[in-house]
Amino acid sequence: MLYGADYNPDQWPEEVWDDDVRLMQEAGVNIVSLGIFAWSRIQPTEGEWDFAWLDTVIGKLHAGGIRVNLATATASPPPWVSASYPETLPADESGATYWPGSRQHFAPSSPTYRRLAGELVRSIAERYVDHPAVVMWHVGNEFGCHLPMDFSDSARDAYRDWLRAKYTTVEALNDAWGTSFWSQRYAGFDEVFPPRLAPYSHNPSSMLDWRRFTSDMLLECYLMEREILLAAGATQPITTNFMGPFKPADYAAWAPHMDVIADDCYPDPSSPTRVRDSAFQRDLIRSLKPGVPWLLWEQATDAVNWRPSNPGKAPGQLMAETAQSVARGADGIMFFQWRQSRAGSEKFHSAMLPHAGTDTATWRAVTELGARLAALPELPPPGRDAKVALAFDWENWWAVEERDHPTELDYLAVCREWYGAFHARGIMVDIVPPEQVDDGYDLVVAPALYLLRDAGAGALLRFVESGGTLLAGPFSDVVDEHDQFRDGGFVTQLGQALGIRFENFGALGGASTGGSGVGAQGGRQADASHETLPLRIAETTARATLVAETVHPTTADVVADFEDGRPALTRNQYAAGEAWYVATVPDAAGIDAVASELIAASGVEPVVAGLPDGVEVARRGELVTVINHGHEPADITLDGVDWESGAAVGSRTLGPQEVLFARMPVAGTGPEASADPVLAHAPTA
């Protein structure tokens, strides 16, 4: 188990470094991510390099038995870069420049930025590639975090090249974008601009390509650095830190280029859905590389500094949140950052070593956590533990939240709500693109899958044909990969399996956004100001939100109606399986009731049945983790042995935030699980 933090010794005088290593040892730290923002220290001016300090730090860490995840330091160009090469600066939609003075002020597609960043990476790689302390490479940092989209002239030029490579002829682009509409027909690629400030809606098909392009530009920066590391002879795993469900970067497309997946997760202590949402994030991350453990690269020991109000964690919460990562596949637990900064924007952000020193609750929590993780017997790799898949797709996310739709819909919120119904019951869920759905699952939930590619539809159909249970809807199977309607109406791919015919989207009334139809960008969830419709599902009275679509069963049975008698939930036998359609976004009670029906129909089981509310359970091969996130003690019963003590568990009371790691044999283990420790995932070109 890796344990450590971002380490920024360049913020501190050399006198502190020995103390750092000593205290790291005391805390159980065995790895640090080094030098993430050290570009200006390594290369103070163009042509001037200073590695002496880094040699010293790495030497001290190595002597102290602390491994290094060495950063390529490209995330914050130094002042000389911005001053000498203003073409490296990004721009917003209106053409305004993002100036230096913060971080991430680079245009990802700028050839000059890439050249300078490349020189930095090459220098670092050539110097340290064989250093025995260096066990991993940390490329960039949180690509796109602050600045997911750049509209600069570099972006314009790169976008035209990207479109040329994708479409070859401008006629193909015109067809894909439907440019006969509103006189948008292009005569050449050089007439295309990024979607800069415009009087009204941009062409939605172009927006989809623009989002693909911006994700690709960030990925290209990563790949550029990765190739330099490989050319220098890197044999250590290479990766960058993801941010869970981060809309601008299609991590499902990025994942194959990471040797292991690393993730940063900062659950919001004030959010009532904190536990569910962080579980969703960890399951999404685990699902990106099935069978391979992942690394939690950043979490906070206590408060962060970047929300409007920043409460700390409750006693025990750090352990409970950490256990959630381990339970869902993490083999490394790390923090931002090692030593709390004394200057700069993040001086109020917690760290492993607080500014107030070691006589603090944070330091005690950190050292206790390090000791407990170090003592854990070896963990199994995450297996094929989930029988339920949530179909989650970035391209769909981009498309379904474009403007000018029947209603605005918050895709992530809808997916989390469905996920939550299973999470609350202790049922494991993988979160995968539709193409990755296979017959290893028993139940697949595909909410609001508006954009459905042929290959995704094919995988979902094969899944049903082979005996699986699928739920789709609402607003699903509406457009193709260009965000265009397909011939033949709606649900053209899944309609036969669903046994329904689609008539209309039936948007429910909402609060007016004012103006001439120019709605607010970004999705929403229904709130009190929006119309809802009563909906009865089995014994539950729930409410339909956002839409109440009109669908007509062809071969499907109607399981639930809207108040006005139209079908709200249908179920259809198809080949060896069954396909359900839900014609609305039910409220939480409704989603829960539909989930109950699906669980009964598909026979999926919880990891451990009968746990009290607020007690989370997850399986990772033989490891079953039970976490009491509640404020009261909780009684649990479980037929397994304590992973740490070896004693039989039986019935036990877990205090608030208490964690139990238990061993429970698996029926039919996952064959794809990798037995390699996380650092053994060497890169391949």
List of residues contacting ligand GLA (CB under 6 A): 141-142, 264, 266, 298, 304, 336, 346, 349
Q: Which residue number, 141 or 215, has a Cβ lying nearer to ligand GLA?
A: 141
Q: How far is CA 646 from CA 137, 329, 624, 640, 663, in A?
A: 37, 21, 13, 9, 9
Q: Which residue number, 162 or 242, has a Cβ lying nearer to ligand GLA?
A: 242
Q: Which residue number, 262 or 460, has a Cβ lying nearer to ligand GLA?
A: 262
- What is the amino acid identity at position 507? A
Q: Which of 678, 470, 662, 685 is nearest to 581 (CA)?
A: 470
Q: Which residue number, 298 or 410, has a Cβ lying nearer to ligand GLA?
A: 298
Give φ, ψ of 576 to 5 degrees: -85, -5
Tell me the C-alpha distance between 430 and 444, whole Å: 9
Q: Minimum distance from CB of 103 to ligand GLA (Å)?
A: 8
Tell me the C-alpha distance between 82 and 84, whole Å: 6
Q: Minimum distance from CB of 170 to ligand GLA (Å)?
A: 40
Q: Which residue number, 143 or 151, has a Cβ lying nearer to ligand GLA?
A: 143
Whether 298 is catalytic is: yes
Q: Which residue number, 40 or 573, has a Cβ lying nearer to ligand GLA?
A: 40
Q: Minimum distance from CB of 104 to ligand GLA (Å)?
A: 10
Token digits for 440? Answer: 């290893």
Q: How far is CA 57 from CA 8, 14, 28, 274, 396, in A?
A: 10, 9, 18, 37, 45
Contact in structure between 528 and 609 (CB atoms under 8 Å): no
Contact in structure between 616 and 657 (CB atoms under 8 Å): no
* Mode of pairing for the β-strands spanning 330-335 and 429-432: unpaired
Q: Minimum distance from CB of 100 to ligand GLA (Å)?
A: 17
Q: Assign 435 to helix, strand or coil.
A: helix
Q: Minimum distance from CB of 141 to ligand GLA (Å)?
A: 5
CB-CB neighbours of 303 under 10 Å: 16
CB-CB neighbours of 452 under 10 Å: 29
* Mode of pairing for the β-strands spanning 330-335 and 262-264: unpaired
Q: Longest C-alpha distance within the chain, in Å?
A: 77
Instruction: Name 327's bridge partners.
Output: none
Q: Minimum distance from CB of 288 to ligand GLA (Å)?
A: 18
* Angle, helices 411-423/274-288, rounded to nearest 10 degrees: 100
Q: Which residue number, 144 or 621, has a Cβ lying nearer to ligand GLA?
A: 144
Question: For residue 482, how far is the Cα from the chain centroid?
Answer: 24
Q: Which residue number, 304 or 497, has a Cβ lying nearer to ligand GLA?
A: 304
Q: Which residue number, 154 or 337, has a Cβ lying nearer to ligand GLA?
A: 337
Catalytic residue from among 142, 417, 549, 616: 142
Q: How far is CA 30 from CA 23, 324, 334, 575, in A?
A: 11, 21, 10, 53
Residue entry with tokens 């976004």: 585
The count of C-alpha atoms lying within 13 angstroms of the C-alpha of 302, restricted to the half-sphere facing its C-beta, is 22
Tell me the C-alpha distance between 563 and 96, whole Å: 51
Q: Which of 247, 280, 253, 276 is nearest to 522 (CA)?
A: 247
Q: Which of 598, 343, 311 is nearest to 469 (CA)?
A: 598
Q: Minimum distance from CB of 272 to ligand GLA (Å)?
A: 21
Q: Which of 524, 560, 559 is nearest to 543 (CA)?
A: 560
Q: Per-residue DSSP letters for 210-241?
A: HHHHHHHHHHHHHHHHHHHHHHTT--S-EE-E
Tell me the C-alpha distance between 98 and 146, whole Å: 11
Catalytic residue from among 225, 298, 549, 616: 298
Question: For residue 556, how far is the Cα from the chain centroid?
Answer: 35
Contact in structure between 548 and 533 (CB atoms under 8 Å): yes
Q: Which residue number, 354 or 567, has a Cβ lying nearer to ligand GLA?
A: 354
Whether 578 is catalytic is: no
- What is the amino acid identity at position 402? E
Q: Which residue number, 68 or 145, has a Cβ lying nearer to ligand GLA?
A: 145
Catalytic sites, residue numbers: 142, 298
